[in-house]
Chain A
Amino acid sequence: RKEVEQDPGPFNVPEGATVAFNCTYSNSASQSFFWYRQDCRKEPKLLMSVYSSGNEDGRFTAQLNRASQYISLLIRDSKLSDSATYLCVVILSGSARQLTFGSGTQLTVLP
């Protein structure tokens, strides 16, 4: 089983739709969680951290479910510019190798 798993998609949604992605992780000792976005042929960029109580940044909401070992990203009122690959990142303490990226979920927002 992969340490971090994401549905690769692609998710094709109309502009204005709400879309949600999940990311599951295998190690219950994972401590920190992030969502990154990566545009085509570009480098990953931090989208938002994921806090235990859940957090929101504009149209984006991130949640953590430790019991079920997954994090989620909800995008409301999708924009064309949201089209990208969304990577979840899970961090264990103790080793740089434990900073693990998921393989990403591809989102295309259609006009």
Chain B
Amino acid sequence: GAGVSQSPSNKVTEKGKDVELRCDPISGHTALYWYRQSLGQGLEFLIYFQGNSAPDKSGLPSDRFSAERTGGSVSTLTIQRTQQEDSAVYLCASSSAGTDYNSPLHFGNGTRLTVT
């Protein structure tokens, strides 16, 4: 079946511009996560959506970052006034878990963001 889909796969933007990254989770998955991964580094948690509950935004690094999830499905991560340190691979993952985190995460291919 279809996996997690992310777009664009690559994005090059100038410093100061806004970018939007899209994630289409696996159908029926109620949990959706955004992570970012810098070159050679581990995954950094950004935000978590679970059903209709208020999202856990505790990982967002600054107020330039925001995310929404419409209709419990597609999610958009927005970065305003991009900075060079925002350059990373942004990974989206979904899971069929409710509040049980034992269900594994299924990752998309990621969006490679380069801020010049």
Contact = CB atoms under 8 A, between A and B. Distances in A.
A13 B3 CA distance: 33
Contacts of B42: 87, 101-104
Contacts of B56: 95-97
A87 B40 CA distance: 12
Contacts of A93: 101
Bin the interface of chain B by size.
Answer: 20 to 34
Instruction: Name the interface size band of chain A.
Output: 20 to 34
B21 to A, nearest CB: 14
Contacts of A44: 43, 91, 105, 107
Contact of A43 (B31, B59, B108): B108
A103 B43 CA distance: 7
A101 B106 CA distance: 14
A99 B91 CA distance: 15
A64 interface: no
Contacts of B109: 42-43
A20 to B, nearest CB: 20
22 contacts: A42-B109, A43-B108, A44-B43, A44-B91, A46-B105, A87-B42, A87-B43, A91-B102, A95-B58, A96-B31, A96-B48, A96-B50, A96-B56, A96-B101, A97-B48, A98-B101, A99-B33, A99-B45, A99-B105, A101-B35, A101-B43, A103-B41
Interface of A: 31-32, 34, 42-46, 49, 87, 91, 93, 95-104
